[in-house]
Amino acid sequence: MAEIQSVGVIGAGQMGNGIAHVAAQAGLPVTLVDVNPAALEKALATIAKNMDRQVQKGALTAEAKAEALARITTATATESLAPCDIVIEAATEREETKIAIFKSVCAVLKPEAILASNTSSIPITRLAAATDRPERFIGMHFMNPVPVMKLVEIIRGIATSDATFAAVATLAGRLGKTTAVAQDYPAFIVNRVLIPMINEAVQTLQEGVGDVRSIDAAMKLGANHPMGPLELGDFIGLDTCLAIMRVLHEGMGDSKYRPSPLLVKYVEAGWLGRKAGKGFYDYSQTPPVPSR
């Protein structure tokens, strides 16, 4: 399989704009697609702002920033992805949404193009089976925020070819990422370990073992974590944490992966974390304070 020379990204949210950022900065032309034109405008503004931070820190020149931004093309139609060597899906963590996207994009991709999903938990083999190219389908799970975090999990489905794996591993290296190869089990490596820890912190809060500040301080100072688990859950998005726990619970069939009822309650209330302005912390105040 030839080296990947052009990248398509589906979804202009936090993960999608980060993937577009690092690909463009690595010298690759990028087509960023989202059905919402406002999301595309916001994504370009976010990328420019994040690159400005890199310029201020001396990690990027102003000229390199301008060149990277010029490599990004935006569109609302999947047809614009037709020339891409790889298309990375970074849509919401709902299986039915992802499968609908794959069916749409497969209709326009060239036969040799690779499809990758940034899913954080959904089985790659199952997603690949819904496409016309399971041998050229792979998981490429970036960490948030993409321009800062160095890891990419690469997950092969049962049908993923050696050539596809090699091409994607090479691409990850070009993007400046270190790879961890994960087997295709629910939530892979990072979220298999991380999200149950956050869920257990929520359960610890529900049972009154500690309050929000105590739980986060205990893990920051007692386990040397840079963020407490409740703070981190807010950063990830409590709806995403719940979706991953449900995938783990269903996929593993083990009661230890049962989502905490309090986590369910927060999501039902719309308290999804930072992006909603409220989760375990209330972000309408500076600094944020526990919401209950």
Angle at 260 between CA 256 and CA 262, to 5 degrees: 170
**Block residue for tokens 């704009």:** 17
Task: Specify whether 120 is catalytic.
Answer: yes
Task: Specify whether 191 is catalytic.
Answer: yes
Instruction: Check 50, 120, 121, 199 and give the catalytic one.
Output: 120
β-pair partners for 142 = 152
Instruction: Check 17, 50, 121, 191 and give the catalytic one.
Output: 191
Q: Give the containing element (helix H, strand E) for 74.
A: strand 72-75
Task: Specify whether 255 is catalytic.
Answer: no
Instruction: Check 93, 121, 141, 291 and give the catalytic one.
Output: 141
287 class by beta-carbon count within 10 Å (0-12 exposed, 13-18 middle, 19+ buried)? exposed
User: What is 211-261 written as a DSSP string?
Assistant: -HHHHHHHHHHHS--SS-HHHHHHHH-HHHHHHHHHHHHHHH--GGGPPPH
Task: Specify whether 141 is catalytic.
Answer: yes
Q: Given the DSSP bridges, would you call strands 289-290 and 151-156 parallel, antiparallel or unpaired? A: unpaired
Residues ≥6 apart with Cβ < 8 Å to 185: 123, 192, 251
CB 173 within 8 A of CB 152: no
3-class state of residue 89 by DSSP: strand
Structure letter (DSSP) for residue 115? E
Q: At what angle do helices 190-206 and 238-252 cross, to 10 degrees?
A: 110
Catalytically annotated residues? 120, 141, 153, 191
